[in-house]
Amino acid sequence: MDSQHLNPSSLKSRFTATFLRALIKINAQKPISSSSPREIFQRYRRIKVAADKSMAYSVRSRRTWSRATLWKLRSRSRSRLASSGRRSSVKTRTTTTTTTTTTATNHRAAIVEKTSHEKENKEDHVGLAVQAEELRELVPGGESMDLCNLLDETAHYIKCLTTQVQVMKKIANLYSLE
């Protein structure tokens, strides 16, 4: 809807240009004649990383969450280059983290239920601090922020995510028309 007034230096146009360039690079890497499920999966991973990276790059280091994303992606690619033979161990680490998160989330959900029922109108700060833990896991770099910064970064992160989804949707629709 507001694509009619696209400001060349706006976040949306910076993201679009960066992401498109990444897509073209990904497309050029493998002449895609055979699309085996494995190749499609690899491409999907690369596209997803490109999308997150393009958005974080368009935001630059102005935000804690974008800095955290860029740092995470760079250190991940660095470790992959350094240890191309140890890929299996990297996968294991990721799986473990996911399991820990799920357990912690269930445990926290129990606390939150109790907390929000007992103290909803009164002790909002306590409920917030517990609820914020869940948010910290979703927002990049959230672990080290105080509550105020976390809320502020979250608002910006959500705005950028919606822009990212909007542009990706548009690109997908245009591609599927070709």
Q: Which residues bind other proteins (CB under 8 A)?
A: 3-4, 6, 13, 16-17, 20, 23-24, 26-28, 32, 35, 40-41, 43-44, 47-48, 51-52, 112, 115-116, 120-121, 123-132, 134-135, 138-139, 146-148, 151-152, 154-155, 157-159, 161-162, 164-165, 167-172, 174-176, 178
Minimum CB separation of residue 85 from other proteins in Å reads: 26
Cβ-Cβ contacts under 8 Å for 65 (sequence gap 6 or more): 56, 139, 140, 141, 142, 153, 156, 157
* Closer by beta carbon to other proteins, 67 or else 108: 108
The pair of structure tokens assigned to 62 is 């102005």
Closest by CA to 164, choosing from 57, 24, 4, is: 57
Minimum CB separation of residue 150 from other proteins in Å reads: 8
* Closer by beta carbon to other proteins, 86 or else 114: 114
Compute the distance between CA of residue 67 and CA of residue 48 in angstroms, rounded to an integer: 18
Compute the distance between CA of residue 14 and CA of residue 81 in angstroms, rounded to an integer: 28
Minimum CB separation of residue 31 from other proteins in Å reads: 10
DSSP classification of residue 167: H
* 8 A C-beta contact, residue 53 and residue 69: yes
* Closer by beta carbon to other proteins, 86 or else 172: 172
Minimum CB separation of residue 10 from other proteins in Å reads: 11
* 8 A C-beta contact, residue 129 and residue 147: yes
